[in-house]
Structure 1
Amino acid sequence: MSATLRSLRFYLVIGLLQGLLLMWAVLYSGWSGIAMAALAAALLMGGGLLQLLPERRRERRIWLAMVALALAAGVVVACRELPMTGLALAGVSTGLILMTLFGAAVLQGRTNLWRRFFGYALWVALALPLPWIAHALFKAWTFRHYRDPLKGGFLSLVFFAGPTLAFSIGLFLIGLCLAAVLRRRSAAAAC
């Protein structure tokens, strides 16, 4: 199997696992809303970090950083007293994304730290609309066909795993494009 297909498989597995765990937390765990939100944040932050550093996924410190980020998702619990407005949710979400990006940049050392941080920020910013697009398309389809995706089964899996898979595929494709641009730029600089 080629390295590109192995990499795609890795992104798909992470996206699917995130979706399955989110589905379990919401539909079957019986946890409180704040506990589910903290678990969702931990899953998305840890999986996001792992997807930003796919070539280093076998290193022990990456997994330790994922655990640290999952614990840092406790910020969601600390923010439970905030009003549930769009602005508050956007602020907490932005903070969690910034923590993930900074964690990914720091794990590769201090040299060019901010360059890597902004590179990861660009990567995530380009992929971030894809989950919302996937969710909107699925929501429109279920509305049109009078289906309830929260009753369990395959539609629930698509409801929860669709956005995470869309984000994972987006990160994979954007990563391929960025790598091609960097190769082309280094080849042009060598000439």
Structure 2
Amino acid sequence: MATLLRVDSSASGENSKSRQLTDAFVAQWLMKNPGGKVVQRDVNANPLPHFTSETLGALFTPEEDRTEEQKAIVAIGDELIEELEAADVIAISAPMYNFSIPSTLKSYFDYIARAGRTFQYTETGPEGLVKKDAYVFTASGSFLADTPVDHQVPYVHTFLGFLGLNVKDTFIAGGQALGEDGEKAFSEAKDKIAAAV
């Protein structure tokens, strides 16, 4: 049975355009994989603690020496990484907030990036250890994709590639604060999803 891990991060709930694009993708994926399983991780509804010195300290403390508090901290990342490793396909819903991604999604990325588990350092540079396909769904108030101030899509691509994930496609709905132009961009993104899945 194929498993799709869906990660949502918008604070707009059901009104989120990036979430609605992901909804469309998941519906299409389930049509092609009728026995498939969808695991949803909503980091807005259930935000993760920010990555702090305590987090780093827990990770660098040998397992047998960790306090109960440190074990609980490490367990957060363990659960997220196990969820990622168990999935066959990853769908990341990443709206643009202030030229980048929501801090809730950044926290998720911080927890799943773990040396020796999801990536490793080699003589030729870092190597990602999570070898599977990913799809990215984004939205923004104006049309900023492929401009110098787009720190959203390039960052997400760089991070996922760092873990070894192969971004098969990215679906972008720009101009969502611009009326008809935004509606057209959203409709085109949905059409692209229907054609791609």
Scaled by the length of structure 1, the TM-score of the pair is 0.26
The answer to which structure, 1 or 2, has the higher relative contact order (CA under 8 A, 6+ apart) is 1
The structure with more strand, counted as a fraction of residues: 2
Scaled by the length of structure 2, the TM-score of the pair is 0.25
